[in-house]
Amino acid sequence: MPLWSGRFEGGLDQSAWEVNASLPVDQRMALQDVRGSLAWAKALVKAGALTQSEGDQIQRGLKEIAAEFEAHEFEFKAGDEDIHTAVERALTELIGPVGGKLHTGRSRNDQVATDFRLWLMDNIPALVAKMERLQGALLGRAEADFGLLMPGYTHLQRAQPVLLAHWWLAHFWPLQRDRERMIQVAARCGVLPLGAAGLAGTPLAVDRRALADELGFAHVSPNSIDAVSDRDFASGFLYTAALTGVHLSRLAEMMGLFTSQEFGFFELDDAYATGSSLMPQKKNPDIFELARGRAGTLIGLLTGLLTTLKGLPSAYDKDLQEDKEGVFRAFDLLSGLLPVLAGALDTLRVNPAALAAAIEPGLMATDLADYLVARGVPFRQAHGETARLVRRALAQGKPVSELPLEAFQEVNPLFEADLYTAFDPQRSVERRRAEGGTAPEAVRVQIEQARAALQGSS
């Protein structure tokens, strides 16, 4: 029987019941719901709304219910509309009519907002740990692959040589920002809605500050109408999840390319690759494609919640019941994915010969222009002259490094025999020593920074 049935003569149509009920989704917050109720019962005793003995009975009943949830022995009944109803119903069965006193001065509106915030506060740390684990895998790759060079790409065209370690860390830092954001999301959940009641605030002399302390909230919501309708924390979670998805997707896109025969830079371990039911030779990076695919789903979940919120009248509206499914889904999608990606990176094989073969002299064209710059030529002029040399080499079907000295000197007499050192890729990366650059000494500093970022979090 719904908590609100007294107002109605007839029962709810079965199909309407199924649309209205939220138990399949919100039972995931069972322990948070009981915790919120335990704190509320205590607050009611302090406020004089329950006798000590009533409070004790309710506490005992709720603890028994929590133990049943923990042991997965709690029995839901057909009439349980949502997790709040299920707990109140079970409590009344356990301790009798006094269980009906628990809901004094509160509403499911503030209760659900409290449960939801608590759930995220409880569960975000595990997700953060998984993000950290993937960062650890990226850092591990940077350390293991330290001396190797690869072509760096812009517009997916070969641009300049970079350290493979530098490239790995380019995917570490976005996750560092995501992880910091995720920790902030948990902090933003720490505002207590309980005591807002339906919308106007509870008429009881409840000490909401003490209630917040009891439940681990840093703050108390300053406005009861806002408290029951605020889903910024859920939107923030979905934004952070979506952005993490975007970052994983960009890494995944490169993993797909770099494990292809065309690049051949990496090979996935069999434990993280899949085959084709038709083509016996295939070794597919499905895991990374799913990461790319899930990013689309995560963006959709964020868009879904924001769209739900944008037209809502003030205070609570039932539309808000749709908020949890997307958040749980996003949480599960990322929770499942992050450790798999970490495992795939840990076990990846790098092909140094393929990396080296992809570094052709054209990648050092900027270094050649810089050679002239070092001899006083304005960069714009040096760029144009180097481009002419590149064009000439292309027309002759050979690398620019194989043009004779005279060809260089024809374009600019400042060129001397030592110009050919500009084509050394090792020298090219070593020149980029400024903080954040790809020189081995700069990347060593970066690795230290990445280590510190991970240590700072544990």
Give the one residue of 54, 82, 230, 367 binding ligand ARG; rule: CB under 6 A.
82
Give the nearest distance from C-beta 90 to ligand ARG in angstroms. Answer: 17
Burial class (CB in 10 A: 0-12, 13-18, 19+), 56: middle
Quote the CA–CA distance of 418 and 190 in Å, as a whole number: 64
Say whether residue 115 binds ligand ARG (CB under 6 A): no
Catalytic residue, chosen from 15, 155, 277, 458, is 155
Say whether residue 127 binds ligand ARG (CB under 6 A): no
Quote the CA–CA distance of 264 and 359 in Å, as a whole number: 13
Q: Which is nearer to ligand ARG, 135 or 229 (CB)?
A: 229
Q: Which is nearer to ligand ARG, 68 or 325 (CB)?
A: 325
Name the nearest CA neighbour of 70 among 35, 107, 103: 35
Q: Which is nearer to ligand ARG, 20 or 457 (CB)?
A: 20
Q: Which helix (H) or strand (E) holds 152?
A: strand 149-154
Helix then strand then coil, in percent of the chain rounded to 5, is 65, 5, 30
Say whether residue 117 binds ligand ARG (CB under 6 A): no
Catalytic residue, chosen from 276, 277, 428, 457, is 276
For every residue of 349-413, DSSP letters joined together read EE-HHHHHHT--GGGGHHHHHHHHHTTT--HHHHHHHHHHHHHHHHHHTS-GGGS-HHHHHHH-T
Quote the CA–CA distance of 319 and 317 in Å, as a whole number: 5
Residue 442 CB contacts under 8 Å (≥ 6 apart), including other chains: 432, 433, 434, 435, 436
Of residues 350 through 409, those in contact with ligand ARG by CB under 6 A are none
Name the nearest CA neighbour of 167 among 86, 256, 255, 242: 255
Give the nearest distance from C-beta 173 to ligand ARG in angstroms. Answer: 37
Give the nearest distance from C-beta 115 to ligand ARG in angstroms. Answer: 9
| Angle, CA 150 vertex, CA 293 and CA 386 arms, to 5° | 115
Q: Which is nearer to ligand ARG, 25 or 429 (CB)?
A: 25
Say whether residue 89 binds ligand ARG (CB under 6 A): no
Type of residue numbered 324: K
Say whether residue 87 binds ligand ARG (CB under 6 A): no
Give the one residue of 22, 160, 229, 386 binding ligand ARG; rule: CB under 6 A.
22
Say whether residue 109 binds ligand ARG (CB under 6 A): yes
Query: How many helices, marked H, and strands, marked E, lie in the chain?
Result: 18, 6
Q: Which is nearer to ligand ARG, 159 or 199 (CB)?
A: 199
Say whether residue 112 binds ligand ARG (CB under 6 A): yes
Name the nearest CA neighbour of 272 among 216, 341, 218: 341
Q: Which two tokens stand for residue 215?
A: 């439940």
Give the nearest distance from C-beta 158 to ligand ARG in angstroms. Answer: 53
Q: Which is nearer to ligand ARG, 155 or 318 (CB)?
A: 318
Active site residue 276: yes
Type of residue numbered 37: S
Say whether residue 33 binds ligand ARG (CB under 6 A): no
Give the nearest distance from C-beta 447 to ligand ARG in angstroms. Answer: 46
Instruction: Report how many residues bind ligand ARG under the rule CB under 6 A.
Output: 10
Give the nearest distance from C-beta 81 to ligand ARG in angstroms. Answer: 7
Contact 135, 454 (CB under 8 A): yes
Give the one residue of 37, 321, 366, 438 binding ligand ARG; rule: CB under 6 A.
321
Say whether residue 202 binds ligand ARG (CB under 6 A): no
Could you tell me which stretch among 108-116, 141-149, 164-172, 218-226 binds ligand ARG (CB under 6 A)? 108-116
Q: Which is nearer to ligand ARG, 16 or 67 (CB)?
A: 16
Active site residue 155: yes
Burial class (CB in 10 A: 0-12, 13-18, 19+), 115: buried
Beta strands in 247-396 (DSSP E): 266-267, 349-350
What residue ranges bind ligand ARG (CB under 6 A)? 22, 26, 82, 108-109, 112, 316, 318, 320-321
Active-site residues, by number, are: 155, 276
